[in-house]
Amino acid sequence: MTASKPSVLFVCVHNAGRSQMAAAFLTTLAGDRVEVRSAGSAPAESVNPAAVEAMAELGIDMSAEVPKVLTTDAVSASDVVITMGCGDECPYFPGKRYEDWKLEDPAGRGVDSVRPIRDEIKGRIEELIASLAPAAP
């Protein structure tokens, strides 16, 4: 990982739900200790409104986020690449840390169905933060 601060890229197909929630949690919970990116292999036109609502319930505002297209540069510039159902669409670079998080897709679901996905993502983000910047003894 880079000497300054680690960078993490979250990738899902539409960059409208899972990857946006993960990026928002990491940005909120890690602050400026981690550089955060998210992208999609086939970005949607807007972020999933149910994901925005579910995150707002926890005080995290994703309403201004816009889905972004996955680029080779984004992968190249990241230390950790976390995929969420994008299959083989994500470019591979040796020396990067890759994780594939098996999460349900919140697309087309209401906020009641998105909350458990949101909560699972939050738990994984907390574990990720601990692995990137372990607490001092």
pLDDT of residue 136: 43
pLDDT surpassing 90 at residue 4: no
- The rounded distance, in Å, linking the Cα atoms of 77 and 135 is 25
The domain ranges of the chain are 7-132
Residue 45 main-chain phi, psi, to 5 deg:
-80, -25
pLDDT surpassing 70 at residue 13: yes
pLDDT of residue 69: 94
Torsion angle (degrees, nearest 10) of CA 13, 78, 66, 115: 60
Structure tokens, 132: 């990137």
Catalytic residue list: 12, 86, 90
pLDDT of residue 135: 52
Q: What is the pLDDT of residues 72-128, one digit of tens each?
A: 899 999 999 999 976 656 677 888 999 999 999 999 999 999 999 999 999 999 999
Q: What is the pLDDT of residues 29-73, one digit of tens each?
A: 998 889 999 999 899 999 999 999 999 999 999 999 999 999 989
- The rounded distance, in Å, linking the Cα atoms of 137 and 133 is 12
Question: Between residues 137 and 120, which one has the greater pLDDT?
Answer: 120
Q: What CATH architecture applies to the domain 7-132?
A: 3-Layer(aba) Sandwich (3.40)
Within 8 A by CB and 6+ apart from 73, the residues are: none
pLDDT surpassing 90 at residue 2: no
